[in-house]
Chains A and B, each alone.
Chain A
Amino acid sequence: MSITIAVTLDLKGLSCPMPIIKTAKAMKTLAPGELLEAYATDPGSVPDFQAWAKTTGNPLVESTQLGGVFHFILKKKEM
């Protein structure tokens, strides 16, 4: 089964709180069940994406690191 990403965000270079602000904004455009991926370089975004997912109820499907870049996949929660 292939995974389709609805939105890809490039948040590289941005510092707190902009990665989360931009992600929250983009997540609003998604339909329930759709996926968003984001690339960030702020190390603080790793715990922040986790915390955001937990408080908003949108699951953080993936949180990985390649080189100095963090990769996140969020799933829009079912209404």
Chain B
Amino acid sequence: MSVNTIEKPPLAQLAEQPAEKKAEQAEKLVIFAWSGELDKIWPTLILATTGAAMGKETTVFFTFWGLFPLVKNQVRITGENWMQKMLSTMNRGGDQHLKLSKMNFAGAGPAMMSHLAKEHHVASPHELMEAAKEMGVHLIPCQMTMDLLGLKREDLIDGLEEPAGATTALAEAQGAITLFI
């Protein structure tokens, strides 16, 4: 077959395809917040609030390390046994005690990051969490991880939904944009 006889792809049709896909966009956004670090919880909350602003039914399912940012800032030691207590000693919860996944420098990194954020008028995770609650974002803590890590409902901030399991999270994720952060 010579080059001249190759049929050209129907460009007009190809160009139309993405437009059709956009029409059936997902109405829901579900984020699995697995990491507890500042540089992970920050984009999680930025995306969650933006999703809600775009009219999407938005859910954040907090699990494992992702639960610690939900601990009240004034709560220090959590857990019932020495292992859970040690965990909270080494990994303090609360949105004012978040670490960076790199360049943490014993807390100097997050302090510098917060300073930069203020300078550039970037909303803090705390402000974004409040905005998320106000906008009706479903904030669901994972019940199993709470039990495992020794976190009680009263250790966590107000405005969350009832703790739930993986089934609730996956049921919510059906037909949604899903992110694992």
Asked if A and B are interacting partners, one says yes
Task: Decide if A4 is an interface residue (CB 8 Å cutoff).
Answer: no
Q: Are the CB atoms of A20 and B53 closer together than 8 Å?
A: yes
Given A21-B49, A55-B25: A14 and B54 interface contact (C-beta under 8 Å)? no
A79, B25: Cα distance in complex, Å: 19
For chain A, the count of residues having a C-beta within 8 Å of the partner chain is 15
In this complex, which of B53, B121, B128 has the most chain A Cβ atoms within 10 angstroms of its Cβ?
B53
B-side interface residues toward A, CB under 8 Å? 22, 25, 46, 49-50, 52-55, 120-123, 128, 131, 135
| A residues in contact (CB < 8 Å) with B | 13-18, 20-21, 23-25, 52, 54-56
A-B contact pairs, 21 of them (CB 8 A): A14-B121, A15-B121, A15-B122, A15-B123, A16-B46, A17-B49, A17-B50, A17-B123, A18-B123, A21-B50, A21-B53, A21-B131, A24-B52, A24-B54, A24-B55, A25-B53, A52-B54, A55-B25, A55-B54, A55-B55, A56-B55
